[in-house]
Structure 1
Amino acid sequence: MLKNILSIGAWTMVSRVTGFVRDALMAALMGSGPAAEAFIVAFRLPNNFRAIFGEGAFNASFVPAYTKVHQQEGDEAARLFQGRIVSILLISQVILLGLVLIFTPQFVGLNAPGFEGERFDLAVTLTRITFPYLILITLATLYGGVLNAVGRFTAAAAAPILLNVAMIATLLAHHWFPTTAHAAAWGLTISGVLQLGFMLWAAHRARVLAKPEPIKLDTPVRAFFRALGPATIGSMGTQIAIFADTIIASLLSAGAVAALYYADRINQLPLGIIGIAAGTVILPQMSRLLAAGQVEEAHAAQRRTIFLTWLLAAPFLAGFLAVPDLIMRALFMRGAFTAADAEAASSALLAYGAGLPAVVLIRSAVASFYARGDTATPLWASLTGIAVNIVLKIVLMGPLQQAGLALATSLGAWVNLGLLTILASRRGFMHLDRRLYAMLACVALATMTAGLAMYAAATALAPLLAGLAHIGDIIGLVFVGLVGAAFYGATVYCAFGTAGMDLKSALRR
């Protein structure tokens, strides 16, 4: 399990690094101005639909269903099931694309009601360029789900790198496009073609590629759709929060949409590298173990995933809470991205950090239900989190601006995770033992120690690096990161030893 998580995490790390290069280039060329905000809205529309219907709901419903058909009925039945789902997805996505292209102004108006004039018109134009990406990436996600179900995780983890490479290339060639925002939009759509081609090749190489089949609502397909409906709504929690952030931020001061975007891009780093990687590995593993009747083994695999997720994500939490301003200045403050932009984004990053533990652990928690074919319970937990989130956004947007929107998202995630954990434990779907609690406590202690060390190091360095401008921020971030890593690692090791536990054993078991 650790090998698979680290493998996915490594490829995701490459994706996030290239994604940072993309975002840094975009920030330098467009800053937080109208063109940047118009592109962010155009980017988020297809991307959020992908996250809801593709990675979220689709994988939650498809992976357990495909695994069950493959184990019980063999390769040919699984291939036929896959082909029917391909046909259904393709038809539904073509219909959705047609509706969006016809009613693009209305879609943009719903998602950015504060946009007017030139900014609104540009967002409409860019959305028409970017939305075909949804068809391409949804099909790519399907083949990624097939590969994950048979234990091949690398291709799906590596494919997003192509998104960043394509957008970097078009941003560098922005003088060939009407605006830099047009260049970024075309880069997104081109990346969809590249990602789908790559996933088709990977599925063909793994001998799991199925051609579209005539649609037939047989037992496996009906079971898939029964799970898909609740899973779709359940997967909307985080995406509705992002939609709501964009809608409300468009009504706030200029630059709020961009501040949330750049803060969320950094916040997505541990989520993608660790949270999604862990969820990607644990769902098919629990599905296989439960299908074989090995319930306790499935619970043990989940406990280990929870521990590994928290162990690997906690250093990011320490940094987000201790030095969010230094992070945003070092990573983005260049070109059109000013010190004021960095300060606005850092307040949002701090607020997002408050919910980081919950966000990265939700994927592992929902596996308790999805692996058993129960997509309804996560739906209700997600809807409750959404309700709390939206109410808090309305309450906090005035006094805290974009930071209030991010904090509401964090608190909603905690509600979602809490409900999932309580319900799974009561039903016997999850068993969190004392050993796990003790290990999580050791990591929490190390997180606090690392955070305090990072804050002290940043405070001490600030006057020494003040005359070096932007390069001083970069040097400071590197040094503070090394200090935090040293304190974190040492504290984890000592805490495990003091508690009478062996860290190496915890990583293996």
Structure 2
Amino acid sequence: MSLVSKFATVGGATLISRIFGFGREMLMASALGVGPVADAFNLAFRFPNLFRRLFAEGAFNAAFIPLFARALEEDGEEGAKRFASEIFSTLFSVLVVLTALAMIFMPALVTTIIAPGLAVCVDDPAAGGNALSCAMRFEITVTFSRIMFPYLACMSLMAMVCGILNAYRRFFAAAAAPTLLNFILIGVISYALWIEADKATIGFLMSWGVLVAGIAQLAMVTLAMRLAGFSVALKRPRWTKGLKRLLVLAGPAALIGGITQINLFVGQAIASFKPGAVSILQYADRPYQLPLGMVGVAIGVVLLPELARSLKAGRLAEAQHTQNRSLEFALFLTVPAAVALFIIPEPIIRVIYERGAFDPSATPAVAAVLGIYALGLPAFVMMKVFSPGYFAREDTKSPMIVTLVSAGINIVLSLVLFPILAEQGIAWATTLSGWLNAVLLFLGLWRKGLWEIDGKLVKRSLLVLVSALLMGGALIAMMWELNAWLQPGDAVTTQIAAIAILVAVAMAIYFALTLLTGAADRTMVMRLVKRKRG
């Protein structure tokens, strides 16, 4: 299976998950709107999601896969099973203790980490807002957080199983499992709307839905692992050489792999000082996550095991080729997506969310944040391309320093810009720190001689940028022509038709330009076309 085919497999499964994620967010916006219950759910869900990215997906994709690949190469499948069982047993024990402590001390976590703005509101009602509503926001945030926190344990164990599947190049189950979360939450919200539940009850039911989804996802990937002929055993945790090496690599990797979530979490924590700002950031994040997830996750999942295997086998030229083509693929898809999201955020937000409890007055605020996030889209995907260049060589110190610098810049910018620009200031901080992170990661690889840029990458990247800008110009012209169809008062079907025309024509223009200019690999395209015909 070619590199592009592997990207397509993971990206396609992730795309399906993101599409249903749109459905979930649309229902949630209709049911909860922009308000205290929506803020509480988003804050509570972001916390286990952050730790999932930090200590599960980030750490295991960065540290576990290269070590597991080495165990497979050097010790065979039995050695790999011993290593995996050691890690699984330790991870399970730590998660049980961590979950118990978190549920006991959740009020303190909410006050100090998850939503410090709520603590100010509760302790000093004169500081702003109604005292009763602030107390309610705090209580439901604590309740939702307690219900959803075990989701972290399920996702952490799932991340390890997914790492095993990815090392065996079984990508689909791991990429498709997150769709279960969207299926279950769509069902929960639909049921809640059908019984006409109040907003607090809807948030309560959704929190339990998240926990059920976590258990279902873990069960799905575990079954896939067993069908692949691999299994792990739960034993008494022991301090071993393999575990020590994993922790040395995973600590920095946890920060690096979760930098996007760190930035979003910091932003939401600061945004908790303004009612509704957390929900605005979350609703803007969903459309932005579609291309980020489809391309970024696909590259992150596929590239690391491919690089690790090439480097362990001493195929250095193959590793360089893989890196260059991965960056080329990332830019080919994310640059036009960023241009489109920057130009037409308001019509997109209006069509997705503007119904039910979601007030039309919130649309411009959410659209403005989406437009700012769009400018950082290529950066966050490029980080997924550059990070494996370090991880596959078991170097986590260098990217950890880069991550700490960019995270620090994000916090400073958020604190400076939030009082001036509110949630837009948070979005600018996230975008600018993302670009800083991507640039520093690349410079580190280039200076160490770990990334040799070839002529094809330079030429095609420039042509992709030119093609995307020309597409953007055509998109602006088409918006003038279809302006009457994009007005808030028009029927939803009319607005959807207008956006569909804009997207279809823009895609046609972009792909035509990339084929004509050579920004796209014509040989690969013709090969794919011939294969389809065959």
* TM-score, normalisation: structure 1: 0.96
Say whether 1:48 aligns with 2:50. yes
Residue 105 of structure 1: which of 104, 107, 110 is its match? 107
Give the structure 2 partner of residue 428 of structure 1.
Answer: 449
Question: CA 1:465–1:388 in 2, change beyond 3 Å: closer, same or farther?
Answer: closer
Give the structure 1 partner of residue 522 of structure 2.
Answer: 503
Residue 376 of structure 2: which of 320, 340, 355 is its match? 355
User: Any residues of structure 2 matched to 1:2-13 within 5 Å, and which?
Assistant: 2-13=4-15
Say whether 1:146 aligns with 2:167. no
Say whether 1:485 aligns with 2:485. no
Give the structure 1 partner of residue 187 of structure 2.
Answer: 169
Distance in 1, matches of 2:437 and 2:417, equals: 19
Residue 24 of structure 1: which of 19, 23, 26 is its match? 26
Say whether 1:383 aligns with 2:401. no
Question: CA 1:281–1:508 in 2, change beyond 3 Å: closer, same or farther?
Answer: farther
Q: Does the CA contact (< 8 Å) of 1:31 and 1:335 recur in 2?
A: yes
Give the structure 2 partner of residue 184 of structure 1.
Answer: 206
CA drift at 1:507: 9.3
Give the structure 2 partner of residue 33 of structure 1.
Answer: 35
User: Any residues of structure 2 matched to 1:242-261 within 5 Å, and which?
Assistant: 242-252=264-274, 254-261=275-282
Distance in 1, matches of 2:373 and 2:263, equals: 12
Residue 140 of structure 2: which of 122, 137, 150 is its match? 122
CA drift at 1:468: 2.2
Give the structure 2 partner of residue 63 of structure 1.
Answer: 65
Q: Does the CA contact (< 8 Å) of 1:389 and 1:412 recur in 2?
A: yes
1:89-123 CA-partner distances (Å, limit 9, x unpaired): 11111111111101111111222122231111111
CA drift at 1:238: 2.0
CA drift at 1:437: 0.9
Tell which deviates more after alignment, 100-109 or 72-81. 100-109
Q: Does the CA contact (< 8 Å) of 1:159 and 1:195 recur in 2?
A: yes
Question: CA 1:323–1:506 in 2, change beyond 3 Å: closer, same or farther?
Answer: same
SS of 1:51's partner is helix
Q: Does the CA contact (< 8 Å) of 2:85 and 2:232 recur in 1?
A: yes
Task: Letter of the 2:449 partner, please give it.
Answer: G
1:405-440 CA-partner distances (Å, limit 9, x unpaired): 111111111111111111101112111122201111
Question: CA 1:502–1:288 in 2, change beyond 3 Å: closer, same or farther?
Answer: closer
Task: Letter of the 2:14 partner, please give it.
Answer: T
Give the structure 1 partner of residue 249 of structure 2.
Answer: 227
Give the structure 1 partner of residue 431 of structure 2.
Answer: 410
SS of 1:374's partner is coil
Distance in 1, matches of 2:153 and 2:242, equals: 23
Distance in 2, matches of 1:74 and 1:258, equals: 49
CA drift at 1:337: 1.1
Task: Letter of the 2:178 partner, please give it.
Answer: P
Q: Does the CA contact (< 8 Å) of 1:46 and 1:130 recur in 2?
A: yes
CA drift at 1:495: 1.9
Q: Does the CA contact (< 8 Å) of 1:80 and 1:213 recur in 2?
A: no
CA drift at 1:176: 8.9
CA drift at 1:447: 1.2
Distance in 1, matches of 2:145 and 2:300, equals: 30
Give the structure 2 partner of residue 271 of structure 1.
Answer: 292
Question: CA 1:191–1:390 in 2, change beyond 3 Å: closer, same or farther?
Answer: same
Give the structure 2 partner of residue 315 of structure 1.
Answer: 336
Give the structure 1 partner of residue 93 of structure 2.
Answer: 91
Q: Does the CA contact (< 8 Å) of 2:56 and 2:254 recur in 1?
A: no
Distance in 2, matches of 1:258 and 1:102, equals: 26
Residue 342 of structure 1: which of 350, 359, 363 is its match? 363
Residue 454 of structure 1: which of 462, 465, 475 is its match? 475
CA drift at 1:464: 4.2
Distance in 2, matches of 1:42 and 1:464, equals: 38
SS of 1:114's partner is helix
* TM-score, normalisation: structure 2: 0.92
Distance in 2, matches of 1:502 and 1:485, equals: 17
Q: Does the CA contact (< 8 Å) of 2:406 and 2:436 recur in 1?
A: yes
Structure 2: tracts of 5 or more residues without a match: 119-133, 529-534
CA drift at 1:236: 4.0
1:65-99 CA-partner distances (Å, limit 9, x unpaired): 00001111100010011011111111111111111
SS of 2:116's partner is coil
Tell which deviates more after alignment, 381-390 or 452-461. 452-461
CA drift at 1:267: 1.1
Task: Letter of the 2:116 partner, please give it.
Answer: P
Distance in 2, matches of 1:502 and 1:345, equals: 37
Distance in 1, matches of 2:168 and 2:527, equals: 23
Distance in 2, matches of 1:133 and 1:402, equals: 28
Give the structure 1 partner of residue 395 of structure 2.
Answer: 374
SS of 2:490's partner is helix
Give the structure 2 partner of residue 132 of structure 1.
Answer: 150
1:153-184 CA-partner distances (Å, limit 9, x unpaired): 00100000101111111112224976110111
Distance in 2, matches of 1:507 and 1:242, equals: 41
CA drift at 1:506: 8.3
Q: Does the CA contact (< 8 Å) of 1:308 and 1:507 recur in 2?
A: no
Task: Letter of the 2:102 partner, please give it.
Answer: V
Aligned length: 505
Q: Does the CA contact (< 8 Å) of 1:310 and 1:357 recur in 2?
A: yes
Identical positions, percent: 35
Distance in 1, matches of 2:499 and 2:110, equals: 38
Question: CA 1:331–1:239 in 2, change beyond 3 Å: closer, same or farther?
Answer: same
Q: Does the CA contact (< 8 Å) of 1:351 and 1:407 recur in 2?
A: yes
CA drift at 1:221: 2.2
